[in-house]
Amino acid sequence: MFETVKSFFSSLFPSLFSDQDSVRIGLYGPPNGGKTTLANRISEDWMDEEMGSVSEIAHETREVKVKEEVTIEKDGKSLSFNLVDTPGIATKIDYEEFVEQGMEEDDARSRAKEATKGVIESIKWLDSVDVVIIVLDAAVDPYTQVNISTVGNLEARDIPALLVANKIDLEEADVEQVRSAFPQYDVVPISAKEGDNIETFYQALVDMV
User: What would the pLDDT profile of 32-55 be if each residue is shown by its tens digit?
Assistant: 899 999 999 999 999 999 887 665
Count the domains in the chain: 1
Q: Quick check: 13 pLDDT over 50?
A: no
Domain with residue 78: its CATH number is 3.40.50.300
pLDDT tier, 62 (very low <50, low <70, confident <90, very high otherwise):
low
Q: Quick check: 29 pLDDT over 80?
A: yes
Q: Confirm whether 103 is domain-assigned.
A: yes
For residue 128, give its domain range: 27-208
Cβ-based neighbours of 159, under 8 Å, separated by 6 or more: 126, 129, 130, 131, 132
**Residue with more model confidence, 133 or 20:** 133
Bridge partners, residue 120, by sequence: none
Give strand ranges (E) for 86-172.
131-137, 161-166
Q: Confirm whether 203 is domain-assigned.
A: yes
Q: Confirm whether 13 is domain-assigned.
A: no
Cβ-based neighbours of 145, under 8 Å, separated by 6 or more: 29, 30, 33, 136, 137
pLDDT tier, 193 (very low <50, low <70, confident <90, very high otherwise):
very high
In the sheet that 77-85 helps form, which strands lie side by side, from edge to edge? 65-74, 77-85, 23-28, 131-137, 161-166, 187-189
Residue 102: per-residue pLDDT = 74
